[in-house]
Amino acid sequence: MTDRTGLATPEVESAKAYDAEFAAVTKTDATGVDISSVSAPRVQAMQIEQARIEPGMAVLEVGSGGPNAAYLSEMVGKAGRVVTMDIDSEVTDRATTFLTAAGYQNVTVLTADAEEGAPDHGPFDRIVVTVQAADIPPAWMQQLKVGGRLVVPLRMRGLTRTVAFVREGDHLVSDGFELCGFVPMQGAGENRVRLAVLHDTEGEEIGLRIDGHPEPDAKALSEALFTSWAA
């Protein structure tokens, strides 16, 4: 059996890498917000179930890392193909190294902004998005075959849900969703979650994760927090 998750996260102990609820964070931004990870195995399995992958399909994965593309490759088989893409070259380099070492030959890795999809490689039977999105770019539906399925984590009112859609003619119809958590999309469709740290001392951190709102006055919020404690 090919070691998928373990090869993609060599810095993590194997038993931990395969823990059903463990997500391996591989990159954070300057504020401490996670921007790249290998999703927890349970979440990967949940999205694959939502997508209903079948042998011989063409699948686009948005948000690369390696292991999930390998699972998709196994499910579509030799007659199928997988395209996995990410805007971050460090992520796609890591995915390429992993997929090559694991022996997968029907997976194409692209470094590009997925806002425009992968028009040179479509149309697709399935599109599986493994990063949190604020909306669905038109290109994704246009490159999805009629009757095809799109699975995408959408952040709405502070919660992220991985939603399964079916393309019916010129529109998408949802037939299910699950609560989840994913790193935010980067690029043209970005709606980055920001971290406002209100207190950070002696290993204790208190902060607010904010999306879709103006930049807060962290100093005023911190003062209000400590005033409340003092009272």
pLDDT tens digit sequence for 193-213: 666 677 777 667 776 666 655
Domain that holds residue 206: 194-230
Residue 193: the pLDDT is: 62
Q: Is residue 188 part of a domain?
A: no
Provide the token pair at 225: 């927090």
Q: Is residue 81 part of a domain?
A: yes
In DSSP notation, 48-67 reads HHHHT--TT-EEEEES--SH
* Same domain? 146 vs 97: yes
* Residue among 36, 39, 64, 73 flagged as catalytic: 39
Q: Is residue 23 part of a domain?
A: yes
* Same domain? 169 vs 216: no
Residue 182: the pLDDT is: 58
Helix (H) or strand (E) holding 168: strand 159-168
Residue 96: the pLDDT is: 94
Q: Is residue 185 part of a domain?
A: no
* Same domain? 109 vs 202: no
* Same domain? 72 vs 156: yes
Active-site annotation holds for 39: yes
Provide the token pair at 104: 């997968």
Q: Is residue 53 part of a domain?
A: yes
* Same domain? 103 vs 74: yes
Number of domains the chain contains: 2
Q: Is residue 70 part of a domain?
A: yes
Q: Is residue 189 part of a domain?
A: no
Q: Is residue 216 part of a domain?
A: yes
Q: How far is CA 105 from CA 51, 108, 120, in A?
A: 22, 8, 18
Residue 173: the pLDDT is: 96
- Residue ranges in 52-202 assigned as alpha helix (H): 67-76, 89-102, 138-142
Contact between residue 218 and residue 198 where contact means Cβ atoms under 8 Å apart: yes
* Same domain? 110 vs 27: yes
SS3 24: strand
* Same domain? 69 vs 44: yes
pTM, to two decimals: 0.69
Q: Distance (Å, rounded) from C-alpha 203 to C-alpha 171?
A: 49
Q: How far is CA 71 from CA 5, 45, 75, 193, 204, in A?
A: 10, 9, 6, 29, 38
* Same domain? 161 vs 201: no
Provide the token pair at 122: 């479509």
- Residue ranges in 77-137 assigned as alpha helix (H): 89-102
What type of residue is 76?
V
Residue 39: the pLDDT is: 55
What type of residue is 79?
A
* Same domain? 123 vs 216: no
* Same domain? 73 vs 101: yes
* Same domain? 103 vs 202: no
C-beta neighbour count of 169 within 10 angstroms: 8
Here the CATH number for the domain that contains residue 162 is 3.40.50.150
Beta carbons within 8 Å of 98's beta carbon, 6+ residues apart: 4, 7, 8, 66, 67, 70
Q: Is 13 exposed, middle or buried (0-12, 13-18, 19+ CB in 10 A)?
A: exposed
Residue 131: the pLDDT is: 85
* Same domain? 148 vs 73: yes
Per-residue pLDDT of the chain (231 residues; tens, 9 = 90+): 345 444 455 555 555 555 545 455 555 555 555 544 555 676 788 889 999 999 999 999 998 878 889 999 999 999 999 999 999 898 899 899 999 999 999 999 999 999 999 999 999 999 999 888 878 999 999 999 999 999 998 877 667 888 999 999 999 999 988 776 655 655 555 566 666 677 777 667 776 666 655 666 777 777 776 775 555
Residue 112: the pLDDT is: 94
